Structure 1
């Protein structure tokens, strides 16, 4: 575990409709590689980062999916997300983390910086390239 972890608050982006006190758990399929069941649940200390994840999840889920951001509390140990830390961004400027322990939902956040239609199109193209690249790796 990293000694430089954030104190929070922490956020998680998803399309799931959840209420305060509910838990987000590992063991679900990846939004980016649906053939992979994830061993961790991911979260960030940046509300806009969680908003981006929510909007990407909604894009992948299809028409009618609603992007949602929740403030969450880790219930166990967590670590820097190795999928972005040092692999793509030196250190952890994204303030992205993961845990095999559940995250407790504190409440829903309704305000974050939304993607423009052009930004959504750019992410669609990035995701299409990622999903078609059999060599793109998720550190699970």
Structure 2
């Protein structure tokens, strides 16, 4: 899924404009083109956390995984998004298990505009999704907000 041999350059608020998309966001929410995803809502993974950022990735499979484990009753969806402001590497994954940002995940305090929806994407196997969902539901892992 990820090429750990790629040279990694940290994405910061100052240099984020040099990173080209496309960008993806996974969720179970039913949204329309033109809608904005904004910070300030409860986390998809922990009800006690109100998110200060909106998260996204350049990896459709990663966005699909986020959609699969997100809370909610809707079907998993992967939206193509356009950041409306500056963004940075997601500190929840950057340099955690692997050096750099192998999941190509980012966060922004500014909204993301929905510009499309993927009809399909490569999925992880069901066992991995179920294990990750249980891990998230257990409240394990710190969320850097």
Q: State whether TM-score is above 0.5.
A: yes
Counterpart CA distance in 1 for 2:97 and 2:41 is 24
Structure 2 match to 1:123: 132
Q: CA contact under 8 A between 1:6 and 1:45: conserved in structure 2?
A: no
Structure 2 match to 1:70: 79
Structure 1 match to 2:6: none
Counterpart CA distance in 1 for 2:34 and 2:130 is 35
How many angstroms does 1:108 deviate by?
0.9
The CA RMSD measured in Å over matched residues stands at 1.7
- Judging by fraction of residues, say which structure has more helix: 1
Counterpart CA distance in 1 for 2:115 and 2:88 is 20
How many angstroms does 1:92 deviate by?
1.0
Q: Deviations over 1:66-110 (max 9, x none)?
A: 101000000000000000001333111111000000000001111
Q: Does 1:40 align with 2:53?
A: yes
Q: CA contact under 8 A between 2:81 and 2:114: conserved in structure 1?
A: yes
Counterpart CA distance in 2 for 1:20 and 1:72 is 9
How many angstroms does 1:31 deviate by?
1.4
Q: How does 1:1-140 map to 2 (within 5 A)?
A: 1=12, 3=15, 6-57=19-70, 60-61=71-72, 64-129=73-138, 131=139, 133=140, 136-140=141-145
Q: CA contact under 8 A between 1:6 and 1:95: conserved in structure 2?
A: no
Q: Where do 5+ consecutive residues of structure 1 fail to align? A: none
Q: Deviations over 1:21-57 (max 9, x none)?
A: 1100001111122101000000000011100000011
Structure 1 match to 2:3: none
How many angstroms does 1:117 deviate by?
3.0
